[in-house]
């Protein structure tokens, strides 16, 4: 399996490369007042309003550092939810040290043995180069509450009073 690697604080994480639509430089975001602190804001990604989640803020309560290797990983939500039409809803994940993809055999990943209720998006772990690499499960990254904030139902009709 090919994975895209990045860091949150001093630890290494990865996403399955097949879930990544593109990696882009950070943009200027429109902040969303009263949204969770880890929601960086929204930006125009190829004509689609796209929310961005700061993975460092989500995991550690400290924002991503502005570095040359800090990038936004664009996920096409159709890859996570087959009910979504391809290319219509994207999610950006801001992360540090996005510098490489590596190939890892699926069987090298194993359960961490832990289930953290506040971080269900933490997946399996592999030993790589003397360290550990943990998969992020983007399908579990968005809680129902966060999905409603970032992707409100557009079929609801608003009536002027």
Does the reported pTM lie above 0.85? Answer: yes
DSSP 150: H
Q: What is the CATH number of the domain that holds 103?
A: 2.40.50.180
In a structure prediction context, what are the per-residue pLDDT tens digits for the chain, which is 161 residues long?
Answer: 999 999 999 999 999 999 999 999 999 999 988 888 999 999 999 999 999 999 999 999 999 999 999 999 999 987 776 666 666 789 999 999 998 999 999 999 999 888 888 888 999 999 998 889 999 998 888 778 777 777 776 543 344 44
| Cβ neighbour number for residue 82 with a 10 Å cutoff | 8
* CA dist., res. 52 & res. 102, Å (int): 24
Tell whether 160 is covered by a domain: no
- Domain hosting 135: range is 2-150
Q: Which residues pair with 74 in a beta bridge?
A: 22, 92
* CA dist., res. 92 & res. 76, Å (int): 9
Q: Which residues pair with 51 in a beta bridge?
A: 42
* CA dist., res. 138 & res. 55, Å (int): 11
């Amino acid at each position: 399996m090919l994975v895209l690697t990045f860091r949150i604080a001093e630890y290494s994480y990865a996403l399955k490369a097949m879930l990544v639509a593109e990696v882009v430089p950070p943009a200027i975001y429109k902040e969303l007042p009263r949204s969770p602190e880890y929601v960086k804001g929204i930006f125009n990604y190829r004509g689609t309003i796209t929310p961005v989640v700061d993975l460092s803020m989500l995991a550690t309560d400290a924002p991503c550092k502005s570095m040359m290797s800090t990038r936004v990983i664009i996920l096409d939500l159709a890859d996570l939810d087959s009910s979504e039409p391809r290319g219509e809803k994207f999610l950006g994940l801001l992360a540090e040290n996005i510098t490489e993809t590596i190939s890892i055999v699926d069987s090298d990943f194993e359960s961490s043995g832990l289930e953290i209720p506040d971080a269900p998006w933490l997946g399996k772990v592999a030993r790589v180069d003397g360290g550990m690499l943990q998969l992020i499960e983007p399908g579990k990254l968005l809680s129902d509450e966060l999905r409603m904030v970032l992707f409100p139902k557009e079929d609801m009709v608003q009536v002027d009073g």
